[in-house]
Amino acid sequence: MSREGQTDDYQMVEDGYLSEQFVKRLTGDFDLSCVIHIHAKNTGIENLGCVYMCENLVSLDVSYNKVHDLSPLFKLQSLQILDLSNNKLSSLKGLEYMPALSFLNVCGNELATLESLKLLETIPNLRKVIMKDGNVGNPVCHLDSYPNKLKALLPDLVMLDYRYLKGELSSAFKSLDEIDASLREEKISIHDIPQSGPVVSPSFWEDEYFDDLDLNMKLRYLKETLNSVYVEKYRMEEMMTVLETEDKQALQRLAVQLKGSPLNQDKTPSS
């Protein structure tokens, strides 16, 4: 049985090379031009090898490997989602001018300088970037200027490190930050957090910035919300049960019930 971040032995590449045979075995497609998705997490990849032959590839997950060179990606003009987290990258060279790329995860690599991020501005549709996830990040993330620099490079960025910069979630995160800061400074007590209406409106799930591939990030946001606003224990257990189901309708109902943020105080709470 596979463990988190690990793959069965028969799905490990030979000699660290992503070969045609491996991709065919992994995807079941014998014509690489027909391959749309590759999920090759923790498969021992060091060299992305034949990936350039998958010219219609839309999503690629090669997280938890030892990739250090992105040059084989240069022909992937249809690639939209790229997960390179937990590899050996010290440079993003190879990602230049990828016209369709909108989501990039490179947390857990060795990117150390702001200069190493500069080429991201050549990616016209990049909207969501993950450089760090909790305690897993890149050396560059320790620089005070890191977030503002990345926002300046990518003025249309919607999400950075699982925090939304535009849309309803940006206001929600701002309110949570203000509450947490006040609690840390003991300006208010937990019991003084005002009651409110929904943290997000029902239309949140049809937001222009979201698609079905973002369900994991919606779950992450809701879990962070539950922790940040100190929901009562019995209420948190009830909500976490819903979250674990990953059922969209249940999640939608949960989204409009969440309280604890001073958002929408002028609105009547949902019943």
Q: What is the mean pLDDT of the chain?
A: 76
Of 73-87, 148-162, 194-208, the one with minimum mean pLDDT is: 194-208
Predicted pLDDT at 108:
96
Helical segments of the chain, H only: 20-27, 146-153, 168-184, 215-228, 233-245, 248-257
Written as six digits, the tokens of 128 are: 């969501």
Of 32-46, 78-92, 132-146, 236-250, the one with minimum mean pLDDT is: 236-250
What DSSP letter does each residue of 39-83 carry, written as one string?
Answer: E-TTS--SB-GGGGG-TT--EEE--SS-----GGGTT-TT--EEE
Sole residue written with tokens 């960025």: 157
Mean pLDDT for the stretch of residues 98-110 = 95
Q: Name the β-bridge partners of 144.
A: none
Does residue 3 have a pLDDT over 50? no
Does residue 202 have a pLDDT over 60? no
Please give the residue that has the higher pLDDT: either 86 or 173: 86
Give the total residue count for the chain: 271
CA 56 to chain centre: 22
pLDDT band at 7 (very low <50, low <70, confident <90, very high): very low
Predicted pLDDT at 133:
87
Burial of 192 (0-12, 13-18, 19+ CB in 10 A): exposed
Written as six digits, the tokens of 219 are: 């779950």
Q: In what order do the strands lie in the sheet with 81-83?
A: 37-39, 59-61, 81-83, 103-105, 128-130, 159-160, 163-164
Could you tell me which residues come within 8 angstroms of residue 228 by beta carbon, excluding any fewer than 6 positions away? 176, 179, 180, 260
pLDDT band at 110 (very low <50, low <70, confident <90, very high): very high
Helix 248-257 vs helix 215-228: crossing angle, to nearest 10: 30
CB 132 within 8 A of CB 109: no
pLDDT tens digit sequence for 245-264: 556 666 666 666 554 433 33
Does residue 46 have a pLDDT over 50? yes
**Which phi and psi (to 5°) does residue 82 adopt?**
-135, 115
Please give the residue that has the higher pLDDT: either 70 or 11: 70
Of 8-22, 34-48, 150-164, 167-181, the one with minimum mean pLDDT is: 167-181
Mean pLDDT for the stretch of residues 213-224 = 58
Percent above pLDDT 90 for the chain: 50
pLDDT tens digit sequence for 128-152: 999 998 889 999 999 999 999 999 9
Distance CA 71, CA 6 (A): 25
